Amino acid sequence: MTKIDKAISTAYRAAIATDPCAYCGGRTAAMQVDHQFPLSKGGTDHWWNLAMACSHCNLTKHARCGTRFRLLLGLLC
C-alpha cells in the first residue's frame, strides 16, 4: 500500500469506529475492524475491505469471505 492508501485506511477505521456490526447489526463493547475479504485469502488492508464486526461475528466468520458469512448467517436465522 502507498502512504496515501495507508492514510485513507487509517482515517476510514476512525470513521467507522462507531458503526454497528456489518454482519448482525449489533453493537458490543468489543467491536473489531474486520477484513471482509480475509488477509489470509489475499485480502488487503485498503479501506474498501474494512468493516466493523462484533467479536462474536468476527470470531465466527474466521477466514470466510464476508459475503459467504452473510449468506451463512441468513441460513442460520
Torsion sign over Cα 14, 52, 36, 42: positive
The pTM assigned to this predicted structure is: 0.85
Asked whether residue 24 is domain-assigned, the answer is: yes
For the chain (length 77 residues), average pLDDT per consecutive 10?
96 97 93 95 96 94 88 71
- The number of beta carbons lying within 10 Å of the beta carbon of residue 15 is 11
Q: Is 75 among the domain residues? A: no
Residue 15: domain span: 3-70
Residue 45 lies inside a defined structural domain of this protein: yes
- The CATH number of residue 18's host domain is 1.10.30.50
Q: Is residue 76 part of a domain?
A: no
How many domains does one find in the chain?
Answer: 1
pLDDT of residue 21: 95
